[in-house]
């Protein structure tokens, strides 16, 4: 599990404010690598300083995948701000991702 924080806005207890995202991938597959790259690019462009991204490889964390009821990968879950959203795919359709994140 990899966690990246690009969040200039933290509260005194170091809790991130802004977008909390979790991306589920399957190892180093082509789609997983593309999803990570595309999502990081989108976050750096549209959410600079306002997001926390956790990348979870279900091969290394299979119980988390079961808990989150994952049936297709790569999968992005926007946990915050509400409402919760799930986006499936390699995140190459920037407009679709922005809409899913509530940015369009």
Residue whose pair of structure tokens reads 């994140």 in the numeric block = 101
Mean pLDDT of the chain: 88
Question: Average pLDDT for residues 51-70, to the nearest whole number?
Answer: 92
Q: Identify whether 6 is preceded by a cis peptide bond (ω within 30 of 0).
A: no
pTM of the model: 0.85
**Superfamily covering domain 2-100:** Glutaredoxin (3.40.30.10)
Instruction: Say whether pLDDT at 13 is over 60.
Output: no
Nearest to 87 by CA among 40, 29, 21: 21
Element (H, E) at 67: helix 62-67
């Amino acid at each position: 599990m990899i966690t990246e924080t690009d969040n200039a806005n933290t509260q005194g207890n170091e809790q991130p404010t802004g977008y909390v995202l979790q991306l589920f991938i399957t190892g180093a597959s082509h789609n997983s690598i593309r999803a990570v790259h595309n999502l990081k690019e989108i976050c750096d462009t549209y959410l600079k300083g306002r997001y926390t991204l956790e990348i979870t490889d279900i091969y290394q964390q299979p119980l988390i995948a079961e808990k989150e009821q994952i049936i297709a990968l790569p999968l992005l879950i926007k946990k915050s701000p509400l409402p919760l959203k799930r986006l499936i795919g390699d995140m190459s359709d920037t407009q679709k991702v922005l809409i899913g994140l509530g940015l369009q």
